[in-house]
Structures are given as structure tokens and as C-alpha cells.
């Protein structure tokens, strides 16, 4: 645990979920989904405190049972389907500053829908931010299907290049690597988030994670894949 730089991990876990009812506490490998992220945050050597922000009393109890801090209950108006993802994080930070005088140097948003991100991933993202003096670090995963080879289809079924006017590329080796957000880690300087209200700035760096730790559970099929991965992990132990 870092004694010089105070780092807070915030796990936002809304009770409502249309795609997968009760998703954040649905059991994955016999453990509530949110507990996977709590365990990863607590296993980090650089995170000083782990809190969960939720409007759900059931999630609050489970979070405490698995070792997270739940200092407040999130207002219901910040737990709607259309609530911007940054708003519960801003509310949590402001609540801690105003009610506890607690003002960490960095905060790390860890979504419970990324169960396979590890404490080491969190530590490496933090180290990257500190070493490079970045305002924020966001986790990404290499994209298997490069946009240069993607097509769009018109009403007549005719295909055209997704990226128009691009240079013809004949092999994967000619292409620059392309990345997509995997939703696992959003790390930012607290004062920067309070000022700009976004995790994405000019000085945002990408922390690259492998496919096997980048699953973001959004649909029942994603949860099925997660269960298959857990079974494979247990089988190989």
C-alpha cells in the first residue's frame, strides 16, 4: 500500500439491470459478481481504500460482507438507466470530501462487470500513471478486427469501406494496432475529475490488458462466457 499517494477505489454497483436482473450480485463461480471486483481492489498493493456506491441495501450488505467500505447510500436519482456513468463517481468523491474530509490523490473506478481484472492490473495502471505523470489511465484491449477491414452495407446490400478514402492494406502485419475500451479500469487524479468531469483528457494513457481478462459482462451471453471461463480456471487448478 502506498504511503505517499492516497488512492481510492470506487466500485459503482446499481441495483437495477434490465439486461441481467440482479446482475451485480448474481453468482459467478459461487460468488456474487461484485465480490470479484472487491477482491481485486483489496488485493492491490497500491489502493488505500475500497468503497462501493449503490442505492441497493442488498448490495450494500454484500459489499460489506466481502470487505468493502460503504459509507453512504447512493441517491436513487443517481441510479437510473440514463444516469451518466461519471455522476455516481463525482457524487462519491464529493460526499467523502464534505463528510469525512477525505480527499485522495487518485481515484480508480472499477466496474463490477469486469470480474477478471486483477489486483496486479490495478497496480500496473497506477504505476503507469505515476511514472508517466498522466492525468488519467484507462484500460484497453487489442481489437481483433481492424476497422480498416470493416464494411458498411447500404439498403441494397452493397458493401463499402467503413473507413472511406483509406490506403489499401493487404495484410494484418501492415496495420497499426487498434484498441478498444474494456471497461475494467478508469484511473484519474481526483482534482482533474472534479474539474473536467470526465476520465478522458489529452493526457490520458491506455493500460493494455489481454483478452482473457477483458470480458465486460453486459448480456446473458457474456455471463455464460464468464461462467465457462471460471469452470476452465477451476478445472486447471
Q: Which of 68, 106, 109 is nearest to 88 (CA)?
A: 109
Same domain, 130 and 170: no
Same domain, 13 and 124: yes
Is the Cα torsion angle 85, 86, 92, 98 positive or negative in sign?
Answer: negative
Q: Cβ–Cβ contacts within 10 Å for residue 234, how many?
A: 10
Largest CA distance in the chain: 63
Which of these ranges, 1-15, 59-73, 195-209, has the smallest mean pLDDT? 1-15
**pLDDT per residue as tens digits for the range 1-56:** 444 899 999 999 999 777 788 999 999 999 999 999 999 999 999 999 999 999 99
pTM of the model: 0.89
Same domain, 116 and 163: no
Same domain, 114 and 170: no
Residues with Cβ within 8 Å of 11's Cβ and at least 6 positions away in sequence, in order, are 34, 37, 38, 41, 50, 51, 52, 53, 63, 68, 109, 110, 111, 112
**pLDDT per residue as tens digits for the range 82-102:** 889 999 999 999 999 999 999
Name the more confident of 113 and 16. Answer: 113
Same domain, 108 and 220: yes
Which of these ranges, 12-16, 104-108, 160-164, has the smallest mean pLDDT? 160-164
At 172 the pLDDT is 60
At 198 the pLDDT is 96
Same domain, 54 and 156: no
Same domain, 232 and 157: no
Q: CATH no. for residue 190? A: 3.90.550.10
C-beta separation of 90 from 199 below 8 A? no
C-beta separation of 99 from 162 below 8 A? no
Which range marks the domain in which residue 161 is found? 144-177
Same domain, 107 and 118: yes
Same domain, 119 and 203: yes
At 177 the pLDDT is 82
Same domain, 14 and 69: yes
Name the more confident of 19 and 112. Answer: 112
Mean pLDDT in residue range 224-235:
90
Is 104 a member of any domain? yes
What's the structural domain count of the chain? 2
Same domain, 51 and 104: yes
Same domain, 151 and 210: no
Amino acid at each position: 500500500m502506498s504511503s505517499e499517494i492516497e488512492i481510492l477505489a470506487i466500485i459503482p454497483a446499481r441495483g437495477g439491470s434490465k439486461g441481467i436482473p440482479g446482475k451485480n450480485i448474481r453468482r459467478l463461480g459461487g460468488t456474487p459478481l461484485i465480490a470479484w471486483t472487491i477482491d481485486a481492489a483489496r488485493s492491490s498493493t497500491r489502493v488505500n481504500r475500497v468503497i462501493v456506491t449503490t442505492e441497493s441495501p442488498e448490495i450494500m450488505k454484500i459489499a460489506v460482507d466481502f470487505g468493502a467500505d460503504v459509507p453512504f447510500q447512493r441517491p436513487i436519482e443517481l441510479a437510473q438507466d440514463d444516469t451518466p456513468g461519471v455522476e455516481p463517481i463525482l457524487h462519491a468523491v464529493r460526499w467523502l470530501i464534505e463528510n469525512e474530509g477525505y480527499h485522495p490523490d487518485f481515484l480508480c473506478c472499477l466496474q463490477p462487470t469486469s470480474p477478471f481484472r486483477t489486483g496486479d492490473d490495478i497496480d500496473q495502471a497506477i504505476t503507469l500513471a505515476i511514472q508517466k505523470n498522466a492525468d488519467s489511465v484507462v484500460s484497453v484491449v487489442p481489437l481483433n478486427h481492424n476497422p480498416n477491414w470493416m464494411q458498411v452495407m447500404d439498403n441494397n446490400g452493397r458493401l463499402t469501406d467503413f473507413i472511406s478514402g483509406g490506403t489499401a492494406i493487404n495484410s494484418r502485419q501492415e496495420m497499426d494496432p487498434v484498441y478498444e475500451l474494456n471497461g475494467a479500469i478508469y484511473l484519474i487524479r481526483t482534482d482533474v475529475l472534479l474539474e473536467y468531469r470526465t476520465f478522458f483528457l489529452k493526457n490520458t494513457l491506455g493500460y493494455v490488458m489481454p483478452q482473457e481478462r477483458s470480458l465486460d459482462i453486459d448480456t446473458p451471453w457474456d455471463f455464460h462466457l464468464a461462467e465457462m471461463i471460471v469452470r476452465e480456471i477451476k478445472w486447471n487448478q
